[in-house]
Amino acid sequence: EDHCILQHSNRICVITLISDGCSLLKNKVSGKSKRGGQSLTEFAPLCRITCTDEQEYTVFSCIRGRLLEVNEAILNKPDLLLEKPSTEGYIVVILPKFEESKSVTEGLLTREQYEDVLTKRNQQEPYMSAGSRTVLDFTGVHFV
């Protein structure tokens, strides 16, 4: 699945899905320094999405940092993931280490680069276009 990372100038990152797919729930942060937030690596799985076609999709962290918040709204309304991926359907909020503020997004694609990748992908495998992905019926989302 394609993940999208939105980063604010204050280095905070929000992980979302791009389009049409825990121990995390116990995450509790307190105080300005956000003590208690779990440390995540790029490969940490965040949540598993199950669909009516028995497919299971896993969303990964993609970046290293401290977990601040999981979006519990998607547990009740998984449709938000695809309907409003860039706003109410976000998955988690992560605070990278101060020293890694900039480097944490190195190796990720910019919007333009991603669009290039998409175009190439559509050319190679036209039958797996983005359109088909949006037909997903969620049965559930649970945080890993």
Partner 1 sequence: MLSLKEKDRPIVRKLLCAGCCVRCVLRFCCVGTSSAYRRSYQDLHKELLAFISEENSPQSHDASGEEKSSDAPPNKRMRIDEDSVTAAQTDSDICPVCLGVLQDFCDPSFAEQVSDAVKKQQYEFDSLVLTVSLPAQLSVREHSCWLHVKKEVREKSMCLGKDDVIQVKDAFKWAVQGKIGQELGAAVVANSPCEVSISFIHPETEEDCHFLYVAVFLSVSQSVFTRMAVVKALEKISEEKFSRHYPCPPKKANTRCTALDTTCLHTSVFIAGRYNKFSRELPQTPWVIDGERRMDGSVEELIAAPLLSSFRADGFNFSSSGREDVDVRTLGNGRPFAVELLNPHRAKFNRTEIKQLQETINQSSDKIRVRDLQIVTRDATSRMKEGEEEKTKTYSALIWTQKAIESPDLEFLANIKDLRIAQKTPLRVLHRRPLAVRQRLVHSMTTIYLDKHHFTLKLCTQAGTYIKEFVHGDFGRTKPNLCDLMKTDADILELDVESVDIDWPPAIPD
Q: Which residues bind partner 1 (CB under 8 A)?
A: 8, 10-12, 14, 29-32, 34, 68-69, 71, 73, 80, 84, 87-88, 90, 93, 95
The 8-class DSSP code of residue 3 comes to E
Distance in Å, CB of 41 to partner 1, minimum: 20
Distance in Å, CB of 21 to partner 1, minimum: 18
Distance in Å, CB of 130 to partner 1, minimum: 21
Of 18 and 73, the one with the shorter C-beta distance to partner 1 is 73
Distance in Å, CB of 102 to partner 1, minimum: 12
Of 30 and 52, the one with the shorter C-beta distance to partner 1 is 30
Of 56 and 88, the one with the shorter C-beta distance to partner 1 is 88
CA dist 103 and 54 (Å) reads: 37
Residue 17 has a CB neighbour count (10 Å cut-off) of: 22
The DSSP line for 81-105 is HHHSTTTTT--EEEE--GGGTTGGG
Report residue 141 CA to chain centroid gap. 13
Of 49 and 69, the one with the shorter C-beta distance to partner 1 is 69
Nearest partner of 18 among 130, 101, 121, judged by Cα: 130
